[in-house]
Each structure stands twice: as C-alpha cells, then as structure tokens.
Structure 1
C-alpha cells in the first residue's frame, strides 16, 4: 500500500538475483544500497536499477562495486554512506571520502564527481541542482585538489559560506515512547544445552551468518570461543525481552549497549556477564536512550536525548564522547566500531540471522527460531 505513495522508491535487496530480483523490481522498487557482490550489482544495473555504492563504518562495499561505474552506467550509480557516526565524519568525511576512495580504486575523477552530484540529483528528481548550468541552484564547492577532493570554498545559492556561519535551528525535542525496564537475571538466562544457533558478524559487512555450535547455557559467555550473550529489550513494551548468542565482537570483559538498533530501535546489549549487560542496559534506560560502554573498572555514556537516536550536543562533543566509548571497547578487546555492528544485530531484513525482542530470527526462513536446534 505504501509503494504507490511516491514516485521515488528505494529498496533493500542484498544478495537478491535472478527471478526473485525480477519480482522485486516489478513490484515497483527502483534502487538498492545493500549490494555487496560485483556480479549482483552488475545484474541490478542491467535490469534498470539505480545502484548506490555504500561505504559506511562497517559496510565497506565501494572497492568491490566501483568497477561497475563507467561512462555508460554512471547516470545510474551514486554513493551511499549508510551508516557513519560523527567520529568518522570528522576524521574521514562523508561523500567526499567516497570520491577520494573511488578515485584511489581506479575510477575516473569525472565519473566519481558525477556520481556524487548530477547522478544523485537526477535520481531524486532534484532537477534544479546537481550541475553548474543556467537555471540551476548555485550550490557548489571549489576544490584545491581534484583527486583528494580538498574543499577550498563552499557556496550556497551563489553565496560563499564561512566555516562558522552555520547556526542550527533550535527546536523543541520531540518526546518518543520509552517504556523499557531493566530485565531480571532470570529473564535473560539461556536454559538448555546442545547445538545452538550463533549469530556470526562479518567484519566490514552488514550481513551475518549462522553458526551451529555445541554449547550449554551455563557456559555463556564463552570468552575463549568469543561467544557472548545478546539481549534485546523493547522500548515500547516492557514485557518483551529477547536473548540470543553472537560471535565476532571480541569482548574479553565488560559490555556495550545502545538504543540505536535498526529498524525498531529497541535497546540492545552484549557483554561478558549478565551483571555487566544489566548495568549497561540500566544506564541506557536511565537516560531514555544512550550508547554505553563498560569495562571492569569504568563506564562511559553518550546520552541520545532526541528519540534515543541523536544527541543535542555539538558535533565536537559527540566526537569526543565516541572517542571515549571506543577507548573502553578497545581496552576490552572489541572489534573496531562495535556499536555499528551492534546497531544492525536486530535488523531482520538482512540475511542471515538476527536477534529481536522475541529471540533469534532466521531471515531466510523469515521466522523466529529457538536458540537450540533440538528444542
């Protein structure tokens, strides 16, 4: 019912090919930003889709896909940065970073800049911008270095913008539902033993794989095998609490928790003990949304006062707090940028296996399944 409401329809279609892709396109979807495989991207372009080549924090697909950007295809190719936290925006940049990397990976500069400007504008039917020509809005940058995309000056509607000219509009913060409660130890216990479904995160990718491991609930966490407990607490319905197992975060002590958890944005946590998980969850709930990292000796918190998803703080402060969070996770042995992997752990439309407030979710079967296969 929603698809006909707009003429611009973006999709999420990782690993979709063949007749299933045909059906997906025929339903009205026009683009994809989840493509991870070269031949998959080639097929989507051949079938008339727009291809957004993504380079986020943990979803790094640009090097794989950029060979598809040619003079013939560039009008259907754009860049995508889903997702980047404020620290990466400060240290690496945004679309400018995609331009630099595309050129580094062998893309012609003219094609890279077209993807970042005209191709994107025309895709979204912003016909009054995207190029410097009569009748178009004079939004543009002057560069001092083409290959490094070094911005010398920025113009908005023909007027030069000074670095300190931006003043954010002060709006009243919208209050969103946040009815979460701290679970009890009993509610997050894993009972049973046998062959368990374990969510395996993939470094540098959004997808996960299902691993099947012999384990007992009493042995969780299994630090030696890097198998940790994942807990999802509903922010809307206090009674809904789900538990699963995850491998790949690398934590040797402490816990992390966040209220950024696509797409429902329930609270999600992983940790090396039930006590640490519950303490991290408690801090998130106390602030009605936050990113929290705990070690054996300290805790760091970035409150997210806007719907539990965004901070009111200036970006410099957000950057500093994210740095502090990562200092703790690094000291605890975690994978780089663990909060981004955590945010996708409950995303039930991306294969292969996830965890929600109802427990483990098999994306291929599109149904919830028990932790133990013989349950």
Structure 2
C-alpha cells in the first residue's frame, strides 16, 4: 500500500493513497487540518457584541473555548461561502433569576431555555435555601451539572429574609463565606436586609465583608429606597438593583453607581416604566444641556439604553414555554433600543459585571453561542454550549434524568374553622350581624408592591366575613415547618368570586399561602398541598373544580419537564379564571403577598405586617 507524507501547518500527516485521486487527497488534507487546528471551525457572520459590529469570520473552537476569531475581508458578500445563513450571537445570560420560580428543576430549566438561546444564568437559590438550607443549595448545583448549561450562583444573603416570619433554615455569615469560596458562586445574592445594612447590623456587614474579601460583587434589593439611606446602602459596595419600578428611582440609583437590572418577569414587569420613551428623552435633554451626551444626535442617544442589564428574576413555566430572554430583548427593541445594545444587555454586560468568561464571541472565552435569523426577530435555530451543539432546529439534543423528591412540609391536617378570622367570645351570642373595621392587603396585577386598605366587614357569629361585592376575600398563611400556626387576614385585587386557591410557594420563607371566599375550600386547598408535599391548588366545592400541580421538590419545584408543568399551569390559570380571578399570573402575584421585604403591607405566618414601619399590626382597627 502506497503512503504519502503531507505537511499541514508544520504537522506531518501520513495517508494511504492507493486508489485515491488528488481531489480526495485535498479533502483529507482539509479534514485533518481542521482536526489539528481545533475541534470545530465555523465560517459565518457573527455579532461582535462589545463593539456592535456584524461581519463574517472564521471561528475556531478548541476545548470548549473560542481559539481564534478571524475576520473575513470581502467587498462582495455574495462571494462568501458560509456554513450558515443568519448571525451567530453570544449565548444569552440571565444575570438575576430564581430558578425555583419556574417550578422546574435546574436541569429541566436548562432544557427549557436553551432553545431560546440562553446558555447561562446567575441564579440566586434563596428560595430553596429558605426551605432546606445548604442541602438545598447543594442539590441545585448537582442537578445543574447533569446538563450542558452554565449555572452560576449568587450566595443567598438573607436566609431567613427577616425575623418576622418562620422559615425552614438559616445561613450564617460563616456559612456564606464558605459558600463564596466555591467557583460556581460568583456573587453575594440580593441583600434584602436593607434596614440591617443601614443600621450597621454586625451580621449583615460580616456577609458583605466576606464578599469583598473574596472579590465577589454584591447584589442589591432596595425597592423605593432613596436619598441618604440609599447612599449609605450603596456605600457598602452593593452594586446592583432589580427592584426599580420607575425611571426616576432607577436613574437616582444609576447615578450613584448601581448597575440597574431592567426586570421583565411573569409578575414583576418593569421594562415599560424603566425604558419609557418620554422619560428617557427628557433625561437625555437634561444630559445634553449639561454636556454629558456623547452621541451625535438625540436619536442615536435614545437607541442606547440608560441601564445595563436585562433580567427575568422570576418567570413561570407557562411564560417560559413561549420564550425567555429572547422575548425580553425583543421587547426592549420595540421600545426603541438598538438591537445590538439590547443583546449586549443580556450577554457582554452581565459577563463583565460578574466576571464570567462568556458573553462574547471572542478568543479565550467559553464557546457559548446561538444562530439566529437576524438581530430583530431573534429566531434561534441552533445553540452551542462549550462548543458542543446542544440545540438543532429549535430542539434540545439531550434528555434530562428523573428528579428525586425533597419533602419539606411538616403540618397536621387543617380544619375549616382554622381559617376563620374571629372577633372573640363577646360576639358569639350576638343575635344580629354587626360590623367591624379591618386592614386588608390591596394587591395589583403585575406588581410586587401592595397597599394597605381600610375595610368595614360584617361579623356573623363572631367570625369576620369576606365581602365579594367589594372584592374583599380571605387570605391566610400556614406555617409549614411545624407548629401549625396560621395567620388570617383579608385581601382585595384578585376579584375572586368562589372557591379558593393556594400554594406552598410564598416568598421568601415559602409557608403555605391560600386565598379564598370561604374557610371550607381554603382548608381543602391546604390539605391537598400537605398530601402532595407541596404544590399549587385551585379548588371549588361549589363547581367541583380541583386542579393540582404537584411540587414535591422542597414544595417549590416539579420533578417533571416544562411541557407537563406549563400544561398544568394553563389548566390552573383556566380554573382560577373560572373562580373569577383574572390576574395575569395569579399564583405568582399571590406568592408575593407574603414577601414582607417589599412595600407596603403584607402577611406572614406571624401576623399582618407593615413593611414601611417594620412592625406587625392588628387585623381589627378603629379608623
């Protein structure tokens, strides 16, 4: 057999040439050269996201990294012989998300978002940490390793979030320092203990100091904070905020050095406010008058976002089945943000802020990237993670493993009378209905912010009654960690007409939260959640409605994939609509009624809570 030695870039290749013509030899040379030069070579147009330019290049990938990105100089695009039509963009990065809010495990979350071009997240696992502590965090990390996806984490800074509710675990400053030493932990998670930071609480400052010592950024959580208190909060090196609800609030924080995360999730949707065209225009006019606008025209300046990051924070499976950051970017574009700048907010910018070696198609960075049709429509056809093709024709090329359950609910069976808001013994023998004044939570669609409402309700046989005509229904929080204590209250804004619905998902401690028109259906909802060791339940004895999404993983996540969870979500929402509630994301909105770190009026298993005064208040009040 004849052999021929061929030199390829200084490397000798020995090939058999019996029966092979010169054309075939040339093909062999090319194939072997590609094997020598890198694991993968792609010739395509790509977005240089740092500088906002699109041009063709030969992209060489080796060992999961971009080895070379070689621009192709040409005067005629028609002469280009490209591997793919479309444009390669860096893999998208959601730099602030709580995976648990999707009701999916990390591995199933990754499989759900990869077809939309997301290849990395910075996840704050404080939901599961509040339930299971370090064990829960470790479980999240290990489950994420089963799939081709880059999970980075922010160490939960506030577990429990406050002392005004009961949770399943706690993380000390020593725990947090040890977690921050781990490579996958890239930041200290949102510092929700704003009063503690401002008051210079020793434990809060120890957590901050641990992050500084290890060179990890610190995420903020400071809704409506302003003035001197904001300045003091930021002075401790807190670098981000995702809770801004107005342009004015966001600009004040940005001017003080904060990186503003423009949030667009399932419940909290702040993009319209933060990227409002008129607000941005007035701001730019002020900046131009002060000589601080560098763009040649106002139109050019308006196309550049005033803030740096796009995030989801919390997104449910039903929304996630329709898209992820790709939809957030497209919405930013619809608000007159330059497409390249919008993509940069979910690629290069978060990578730079958190020190991630991804976010750009650039030599030495991790080869996470996607093929899209163009930069406006962002239709994703292929996705690579560490240089490996993981999505083709919009379909993930891998399967997820079965997920083990993580039981976490310690609760006796409840009774209907447990959900009666009672006046006391003096009312029981009353022969006629009386009235009393109560404080009620006033909830709003697509908002975490609530208000305190003053309501006059009827008392019958010593029990305060809801008033459906005034949209005032019952709400309760049940301690799921033992003790069986229950707080009863009233809420408006859900427009519930019959039945009840509830969940073992209620931020941040995730006690069982239930809302209803009557105590019997509320008790049934809680007992179903207890039976399944977690879940979402919609129930009405009047209409024989019972829909359940089981959440056996810490009462927060399903062990099923997105198709199952999204379908259950749709059925659940349809059932709740049948009960009269027409909120965009009723379960998501409900889950934040117990988030007592968000203004203004909330409920925990320990009582009704005034988040402004940081104190419990009585349900019954004389106005």
Does the TM-score normalized on the shorter chain lie above 0.5?
yes
Residue by residue, what CA displacement relative to the aligned partner does 1:20-66 show, whole Å, maximum 9, x if unpaired? 11111123321111110110000111000011111111211011112
Q: Is the 8 A contact 1:347 1:354 kept in 2?
A: yes
Is there any run of 5+ residues in structure 2 with no aligned partner, and where?
1-205, 285-300, 424-434
Residue 279 of structure 1 and its aligned partner are, at CA, apart by 0.6
Alignment partner, residue 535 of structure 2:
290
Residue 249 of structure 1 and its aligned partner are, at CA, apart by 0.7
List aligned pairs for 1:89-108, cutoff 5 A: 89-91=320-322, 93-108=323-338
SS of structure 2 residue aligned to 1:325: helix
SS of structure 1 residue aligned to 2:457: strand
Alignment partner, residue 367 of structure 1:
615
The separation in 2 between residues aligned to 1:171 and 1:250, in whole angstroms, is: 37
Alignment partner, residue 318 of structure 2:
87
Alignment partner, residue 443 of structure 2:
201
**Alignment pair present for 1:48 and 2:290:** no
Q: Is the 8 A contact 2:443 2:449 kept in 1?
A: yes
Q: Is the 8 A contact 1:57 1:83 kept in 2?
A: yes
Alignment partner, residue 575 of structure 2:
328
The separation in 2 between residues aligned to 1:75 and 1:223, in whole angstroms, is: 44
Alignment partner, residue 259 of structure 1:
504
SS of structure 1 residue aligned to 2:262: strand
Is there any run of 5+ residues in structure 1 with no aligned partner, and where?
none
User: Which segment drifts farther, 247-256 or 189-198?
Assistant: 189-198
SS of structure 2 residue aligned to 1:280: helix
Q: Is the 8 A contact 1:288 1:308 kept in 2?
A: yes
List aligned pairs for 1:342-361, cutoff 5 A: 342-361=590-609
SS of structure 2 residue aligned to 1:148: coil
The one of 303, 307, 310 aligned to 2:550: 303
Q: Is the 8 A contact 1:76 1:123 kept in 2?
A: no
The separation in 2 between residues aligned to 1:318 and 1:230, in whole angstroms, is: 25
Residue 243 of structure 1 and its aligned partner are, at CA, apart by 1.0
The separation in 2 between residues aligned to 1:239 and 1:27, in whole angstroms, is: 39
TM-score norm. by structure 1 comes to: 0.94
Q: Is the 8 A contact 2:502 2:536 kept in 1?
A: yes
The one of 274, 285, 299 aligned to 1:65: 274
Residue 282 of structure 1 and its aligned partner are, at CA, apart by 0.8
The separation in 2 between residues aligned to 1:282 and 1:273, in whole angstroms, is: 15
**Alignment pair present for 1:2 and 2:202:** no
Residue by residue, what CA displacement relative to the aligned partner does 1:247-277 show, whole Å, maximum 9, x if unpaired? 0111111110100100000000001110010
Alignment partner, residue 416 of structure 2:
185
Q: CA RMSD in A?
A: 2.0
**Alignment pair present for 1:341 and 2:589:** yes
**Alignment pair present for 1:274 and 2:519:** yes
The one of 481, 499, 506 aligned to 1:236: 481
Residues 18 and 42 of structure 1, relative CA distance in 2, 3 Å threshold = same
The separation in 2 between residues aligned to 1:217 and 1:56, in whole angstroms, is: 39
Residues 334 and 72 of structure 1, relative CA distance in 2, 3 Å threshold = closer
Alignment partner, residue 156 of structure 1:
385
The separation in 2 between residues aligned to 1:77 and 1:312, in whole angstroms, is: 35
Residues 289 and 5 of structure 1, relative CA distance in 2, 3 Å threshold = same
The separation in 1 between residues aligned to 2:396 and 2:376, in whole angstroms, is: 26
The separation in 2 between residues aligned to 1:352 and 1:194, in whole angstroms, is: 23
Q: Is the 8 A contact 1:255 1:294 kept in 2?
A: yes
The separation in 2 between residues aligned to 1:116 and 1:309, in whole angstroms, is: 26
The separation in 1 between residues aligned to 2:404 and 2:572, in whole angstroms, is: 28
Residue by residue, what CA displacement relative to the aligned partner does 1:340-371 show, whole Å, maximum 9, x if unpaired? 11110100000000111112111011111111
Residue by residue, what CA displacement relative to the aligned partner does 1:66-116 show, whole Å, maximum 9, x if unpaired? 25696998696111112111010112x111111010001111111100001
Alignment partner, residue 123 of structure 1:
353
Q: Is the 8 A contact 1:75 1:115 kept in 2?
A: no
Q: Is the 8 A contact 2:437 2:621 kept in 1?
A: yes
The separation in 2 between residues aligned to 1:124 and 1:168, in whole angstroms, is: 28
Residue 304 of structure 1 and its aligned partner are, at CA, apart by 0.2
SS of structure 1 residue aligned to 2:275: helix
Q: Is the 8 A contact 2:441 2:601 kept in 1?
A: yes
Residues 72 and 108 of structure 1, relative CA distance in 2, 3 Å threshold = closer
Residue by residue, what CA displacement relative to the aligned partner does 1:211-267 show, whole Å, maximum 9, x if unpaired? 111223445221101101101101112332111110011111111010010000000
Q: Is the 8 A contact 2:499 2:516 kept in 1?
A: yes
The separation in 2 between residues aligned to 1:241 and 1:321, in whole angstroms, is: 28
Q: Is the 8 A contact 1:248 1:335 kept in 2?
A: no
The separation in 2 between residues aligned to 1:40 and 1:227, in whole angstroms, is: 31
Q: Is the 8 A contact 2:403 2:559 kept in 1?
A: no
Aligned residues between the structures? 372
Q: Is the 8 A contact 1:45 1:73 kept in 2?
A: no
Residue 183 of structure 1 and its aligned partner are, at CA, apart by 3.2
SS of structure 2 residue aligned to 1:2: helix
The separation in 2 between residues aligned to 1:30 and 1:74, in whole angstroms, is: 18
